Amino acid sequence: QVQVVESGGRLVQAGESVRLSCAASGRTLRTSGMGWFRQAPGMEREFVSGVTWSGAFTYYADSVKGRFTISRDAAKDTVYLQMNNLKPEDTAVYYCAVKTRGSEWYRATHYDYWGQGTQVTVSS
């Protein structure tokens, strides 16, 4: 069974940077990639970024393109999300998840294993 644990969330001011880490343990033959989602209070969980299992391809929501970068260290089974030039609207609980099926990276239902989330708060 796969376990996912996120870390690195903190309180920062607008314009600053945060790097989130996601440690994944266990493996499944259905795993096609890893992704980051976020959920702000009163809002639906939304896709932020994803990376294929091989690390060959990456995907980003339009709202974070040019500011966020996803990367994966296969040897450590760890995925990172580097978030630069943070804005107050980036404030949310960030979740790391394992993608197991489907071709649409933005669909949360295509991810079977989720971490508990880590809070990122950006003040103005």
Reading the block at residue 13, the tokens are: 């001011």
Reading the block at residue 57, the tokens are: 């391809």
Q: Which residues pair with 96 in a beta bridge?
A: 36
Quote the CA–CA distance of 36 and 22 in Å, as a whole number: 9
pLDDT tens-place values along the chain, 124 residues long? 889 999 999 999 999 999 999 998 877 667 789 999 999 999 999 999 999 988 899 999 999 999 999 999 888 889 999 999 999 999 999 999 999 877 899 999 999 999 999 999 999 9
Q: What is the pLDDT of residue 25?
A: 86
Q: What is the pLDDT of residue 90?
A: 98
Sequence-distant (6+) residues with CB within 8 A of 124 are: 13, 14, 88
Q: What is the pLDDT of residue 18?
A: 98
CA distances from 90 to 5, 53, 77, 84, 115 (A): 20, 26, 26, 11, 19
pLDDT tens digits, 16-29: 999 999 998 877 66
Q: How many CB atoms lie within 10 A of CB 124?
A: 7
